[in-house]
Amino acid sequence: MPKKRSSTPKSAKPKQNAYIAGSGEVVEEHITDTLVTNYMPYAVSVIVSRALPEIDGFKPSHRKLLYTMYKMGLLNGNKTKSANIVGQTMKLNPHGDQAIYDTMVRLARGNEALLHPYVESKGNFGKAYSRDMAYAAPRYTEAKLEPICAELFRDIDKETVDFVPNYDNETTEPTLFPTTFPNILVNNNMGIAVSMASNVCSFNLKEICEATIGLIKNPDFNISSVVKGPDFPGGGFIIYDEAEMEKIFRTGRGQVKVRSKYNYDKDDNCIEITEIPPTTTIEQIKDKIVELAKNGKVREINYIRDESDLNGLKIAIDLKRGTDPDALMKKLYRMTPLQDTYSCNFNILIAGYPKVMGVYEILTEWTAFRRGCVERRVYFELTKKKDKLHLLYGLKKILLDIDKAVKIVRETEEESEVVPNLMIGFGIDEIQAEYVAEIKLRHLNREYIVNRISETEQLEKDIKEMQDTLNDRRKIYEIIISELKEVIKKYSQPRRSMFCFPDDEEESIVEDDTPDYPVNLFFTKEGYFKKITPQSLRMSGEQKLKEGDSIECAVEATNKTELLFFTDKARVYKTTAAEFPDTKASVMGEYVPVKLSFESDENVFAMVPTTDYEGFLIAVFENGKTAKIPLSSYATKTNRKRLTSAYSDKSPLVKLIYVRDNADIALISSRGRMVIFNTALILPKAARDTIGVQTMTLKSGAKVEKAWVLTPEELEKYSRYYVKNVPVTGLIAKGVDDPDQLTL
């Protein structure tokens, strides 16, 4: 689109972007055009060519590095300096040596980030479980490919995958690896793109291969019969949740709780932690425990130190005399990253398009991909054998009358005429004649002739078998299954992450020693939360808010107040004010979806503070129904952080209102009608997902748009809309203030 030149000041057109042209003239263009031209290609490039893994389990940076090492002969050869590998990789990946080396470090065995490392390392490659253990420079370390990489490159030279030119067209590189096992699920992979992300956890190789074989044989195969859950490189205990696992298997989204492994040294009165969740590090755990000790929340610990060495990870916690180690660990599991949640998001590129898939669908996609690789390999070998058979057919005709062939060659005056004369004399084509003309004189004996004839028979048999294989998909699947069984036999290893089952005793809340003091709580429409002490609030100025944001809820409470954050996905996240730091009015506050680890498409809808779970939650829906739910329905005996089915999702939610006792509530519909009723007219239902009762009768196409609690002054002002029975249609609202403009 040609750029529009204008002398109008920039301020007069806020939706346009201005820049200085070469002539010094101000050129203006719509900001949307700038985004499409400049930002969109970048976003697509990050998604497709950088951040998300593909069905072979690799991102482009991984693939370029490993293929370079393969071409350098590092699959079977000796180790070479990492700096040499990095330099060679820059022929395919020109984004800087540091980025390449960072990639190699994560793929190396020494880093311990992967369940099945691809790079055999020598030297200091750091540790994935430590933030401060830095890896050595590439000039000091050495590397080669691990034996399992043979399964990544098997038959890569037989046109099993496509090759594309590198960035300067000097060489070519594969678009995918023809990996013989579902590598995408065997090693963990994480990537952050533009507007989307991927987080694939690792599974046990043997279990995944067996699940793939089961699905190939039977599309209705139950994966959970062989795959119980993820298997993390660092081990730990997975708190088994069958429903959540099935959700991950089916949708590719879900959360896995991982708990650290420990043992108690009675002689030294010391807890030794030897395995931690993959989402944390030694330093994060130490920092959190030290913080809790300083705040007086954990008083049973004398000292904590990092004793990790060449034998592996170890965090030692010295206990005070008389401390119950198991009770302390339950407390630390609840308050520190010693127990953490791994959020799964299996977002994978399929044919260049990102797609979130469950384990079932991923294995189905991988099987289709691998079937294509095997078919291409068989076709490649078939073509080679056909070409060779074609040459032998020509040779067969010659061998039937060698004397004639010798005579033709001897009587030909010019060398260039030998091939044409053989073609004419025996009725063969040019390729066959060229092959015959190159046969050495020593081969014109009986043994050679017999061998060629037998080779022809074997080739004919092989070609028939290959053609049958290409025409029968079951035979292709048999090849895939046999390769998977071979991988299991060669590379399977025992499961590292074990399972434990939650119970009420493990999840029970330990003695609460949280400090209690008065606080003011503020919650905004955009989902930001602040906890400010009264003294700090008196000394503060204006509240800092995000542009366009406003205070939704402001209450006086205490540091032990429990907070219920309801989301637009009919869930409620439970926490306490103590989990948020004290802050000031001059800061924006904590963003609740990030703080409480909401799912990627989940937003906070309302906040309800409570100390005793008394009162009711009034849920107003667009269809005119209103539910009255006792707040006690959200109280749990165990320390559960998230509850599903927090309210009915049959109709979109308009408003969640907390009332200590009955209150007068106003509803306004999209047709401009208004009704006011007292919540005493609605009977409470203990079921959180109750659909409620009809309080406003709506005509076709109408819906409830606004709801709020009236003050006594408002009730007196709008008394004409008050009703004593529900449901009602209501009256046309006139002179009613916008409830969104009311102050709290």
- CATH number reported for the structural domain that contains residue 398 in this entry: 1.10.268.10
Residues 278, 371, single domain; the answer is: no
Beta-bridged to residue 645, according to DSSP, are none
Residues 41, 116, single domain; the answer is: no
Q: Is residue 533 part of a domain?
A: yes
For tokens 């990095």, the residue is 86
Query: What does the buried/exposed string (b/e) look like for 407-443 if buried means 16 or more CB atoms within 10 Å of the residue's CB?
Result: ebbeeeeeeeebbebbbebbebeeebbbbbeeeeeee
Q: Is residue 351 part of a domain?
A: no
Lowest mean pLDDT among 28-32, 390-394, 503-507, 575-579: 503-507
- CATH number reported for the structural domain that contains residue 654 in this entry: 2.120.10.90
**Residues written for the chain:** 744
Q: Is residue 197 part of a domain?
A: no
Q: What is the mean pLDDT of residues 373-398?
A: 90
DSSP 102-169: HHHHHHBGGGT-SSS-SEEEES----TT-SS-PPPPTTT-EEEE-GGGHHHHTTGGGTSS-EEE-TTS
Helix (H) or strand (E) holding 16: strand 16-20
Residues 99, 153, single domain; the answer is: yes
Number of domains into which the chain is organized: 6
Lowest mean pLDDT among 1-15, 201-215, 579-593, 717-731: 1-15
Write the secondary structure of 273-317 as one string of H (helix), E (strand) and C (coil). Answer: EEECCCCCCHHHHHHHHHHHHHCCCCCCEEEEEECCECCECCEEE
Residues 17, 61, single domain; the answer is: no
* Domain stop point among 179, 204, 237: 179
Rounded Cα–Cα distance for residues 107 and 101 (Å): 10
pLDDT at 14: 44
**Pick the residue with more confidence: 421 or 211?**
211
Q: Is residue 503 part of a domain?
A: no
* Domain stop point among 120, 150, 179: 179
Rounded Cα–Cα distance for residues 326 and 312 (Å): 23
List active site positions: 140
* Domain stop point among 557, 588, 610: 610
Residues 606, 621, single domain; the answer is: no
Residues 461, 525, single domain; the answer is: no
Domain that holds residue 526: 514-610
Per residue in 605-626, pLDDT tens? 999 999 889 999 999 999 999 9
Residues 108, 138, single domain; the answer is: yes
Q: Is residue 96 part of a domain?
A: yes
Helix (H) or strand (E) holding 247: helix 242-251
Asked if residue 5 has pLDDT above 60, the reply is no
Per residue in 486-496, pLDDT tens? 999 999 999 99
pLDDT at 407: 86
Q: Is residue 228 part of a domain?
A: no
Q: Is residue 459 part of a domain?
A: yes
Q: Where are the beta strands (DSSP E) in 444-541?
A: 498-500, 518-524, 528-532
Q: What percent of the chain has pLDDT over 70?
A: 93
Give pTM, 2 decimals. 0.68
Asked if residue 12 has pLDDT above 70, the reply is no
Lowest mean pLDDT among 141-155, 181-195, 293-307, 340-354: 293-307
pLDDT at 642: 86
Residues 292, 281, single domain; the answer is: yes
Q: Is residue 216 part of a domain?
A: no
Per residue in 714-727, pLDDT tens? 888 888 899 999 89
